[in-house]
């Protein structure tokens, strides 16, 4: 077996009127500069955190910035925010249900 052959299964909503993305509000504590959302966020509507700005590279240089990995649902923060409790708002489009080969 190829050790780099990773298979991930997703369960996604369609984002249609019949199967819409759902609005999610979560409270999370930042640990090791990261939180993991319960669902994969919709990248069209973006993740929203009060008084913070989303940036589009993982080069976080100030404590009012965050970076979202829209593939895994991980959100990255500046080290100054370690152990802070934050509220995150986004539209969830589904979740990773399992990964193989890990």
Classify residue 67: in a domain, yes or no. Answer: yes
Bridge partners, 30 (sequence order): none
Report pLDDT for 1.
45
Sheet containing strand 74-77, edge to edge, reads 34-36, 74-77, 65-69, 53-55
CA 5 to chain centre: 23
Range of the domain at 90: 28-100
Report pLDDT for 74.
96
Classify residue 19: in a domain, yes or no. Answer: no
Q: How many domains does the chain have?
A: 1
Classify residue 18: in a domain, yes or no. Answer: no
* 5 has a pLDDT exceeding 80: no
Which tens digits make up the pLDDT trace of 24-53? 999 999 999 999 999 999 999 999 999 999
Higher pLDDT, 30 or 12: 30
Classify residue 6: in a domain, yes or no. Answer: no
Q: How far apart are CA 3 and CA 72, in angstroms?
A: 20
Classify residue 16: in a domain, yes or no. Answer: no
Classify residue 74: in a domain, yes or no. Answer: yes
* 99 has a pLDDT exceeding 80: no
Q: What is the mean pLDDT of residues 63-70?
A: 97
Classify residue 22: in a domain, yes or no. Answer: no
Report pLDDT for 8.
67
Classify residue 43: in a domain, yes or no. Answer: yes
* 86 has a pLDDT exceeding 60: yes
Q: How far apart are CA 55 and CA 53, in angstroms?
A: 6
């Amino acid at each position: 077996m190829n050790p780099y052959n990773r298979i991930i299964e997703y369960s996604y909503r369609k984002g249609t009127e019949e199967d819409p993305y759902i609005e999610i509000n979560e409270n999370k504590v930042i640990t090791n500069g990261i939180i993991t959302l319960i669902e994969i966020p919709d990248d069209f509507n973006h993740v929203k955190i009060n008084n913070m700005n989303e940036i589009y590279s993982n080069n976080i240089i100030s404590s009012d910035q965050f970076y979202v990995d829209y593939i895994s649902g991980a959100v990255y923060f500046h080290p100054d925010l370690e152990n802070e409790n934050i509220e995150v708002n986004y539209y969830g489009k589904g979740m990773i249900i399992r990964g193989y080969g890990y």
